[in-house]
Structure 1
Amino acid sequence: MVLEGLLYSPSHEWVKVEGNEAYVGISDHAQESLGAVVFIELPKVGATIKKGETFGAVESVKAASDLYLPVTGKVIEVNSTLEDAPETINDDPYGSWILKIELLDDSELEDLLSGKEYETSIEE
């Protein structure tokens, strides 16, 4: 399932923009590929992370995978409920955001994929 209205990165993160802030999570396709998520590493609030840099990791019963920030931002909040219940990403990947950032270069949003473009990319 791919939600319209979100932006997607080729590395399977989604971005929901609200003004100059954005929520970031992983796509349904990503959580499905990973399998049952058992641990998530969250970044520190206040950290500035550049586009393409690792902001954390997600571990499942199958594999561990780094998470890459699709746009440059300053971490203003993390979803700390994921520390105790990382499996909520499997249950609701689009409701279980991982971090909230202040956008530092919103022109980078133009490099992300629309829902339709992302859906096409994962079908190939």
Structure 2
Amino acid sequence: MSLPTDLKYTEEHEWLAERDDVVRVGVTPYAANALGDIVYVDLPEVGKQITFGEACGELESTKSVSDLYAPATGEVTAVNEAVIDDPAQVNADPFGEGWLLEMRVTEYGKLLDSAQYAELTGE
């Protein structure tokens, strides 16, 4: 799967898409493939303040449990209830219906463009 060039990425394998005054967040196909079949998603509550680089949720797969790291600092404004009900969407459509949360960002951490992320992952 080719990487969308209009997104930003983190070294922890999250993607960010600007949507009006909020940012939509998900995990990359690289992360979804490494995890295997995702069977449970735990996301922060709407209104919660999250801090760049700190764990803010979990993705559980048939292989392991992995922390979801905040890709920026700010307030969670929405969570994707559909992936909580059907976690397999994260594997099936990570850049689309498998998004995880939206947030109003107050501070960004280190972000990569698609070429830098591709170099990081060898894709």
TM-score w.r.t. length of structure 1: 0.93
How much has 1:63 moved relative to structure 2?
1.0
Residue number in structure 1 paired with 2:22: 21
Q: CA RMSD in A?
A: 1.3
**Number of residue pairs matched?**
121
2:56 counterpart SS class = strand
Task: State the distance in 2 between where 1:123 and 1:83 align.
Answer: 30
Question: Of the candidates 76, 100, 103, which is equivalent to residue 98 of structure 1?
Answer: 100
**Which consecutive unaligned segments of at least 5 residues does structure 1 have?**
none
Task: State the distance in 2 between where 1:70 and 1:103 align.
Answer: 9
Residue number in structure 1 paired with 2:117: 118
Task: State the distance in 1 between where 2:43 and 2:72 align.
Answer: 17
How much has 1:19 moved relative to structure 2?
3.5
1:73 lines up with 2:74 in the alignment: yes
How much has 1:17 moved relative to structure 2?
1.2
The ranges of structure 1 where at least 4 consecutive aligned residues each deviate by more than 3 angstroms after the TM superposition are none
Q: How many percent identity over aligned positions?
A: 37
**Which consecutive unaligned segments of at least 5 residues does structure 2 have?**
none
1:38 lines up with 2:39 in the alignment: yes
How much has 1:41 moved relative to structure 2?
0.3
Write the letter of the residue equivalent to 2:87: P
Task: State the distance in 2 between where 1:62 and 1:27 align.
Answer: 17
| Higher share of residues assigned strand | 2
Residue number in structure 1 paired with 2:49: 48
Task: State the distance in 1 between where 2:63 and 2:101 align.
Answer: 23
Task: State the distance in 1 between where 2:84 and 2:45 align.
Answer: 13
How much has 1:103 moved relative to structure 2?
1.1
How much has 1:20 moved relative to structure 2?
2.9
Q: Spell out, residue by residue over 1:54-93, the C-alpha distance to the aligned partner (whole angstroms, 9 max, x if none).
A: 1100000011100001110100100011111000011000
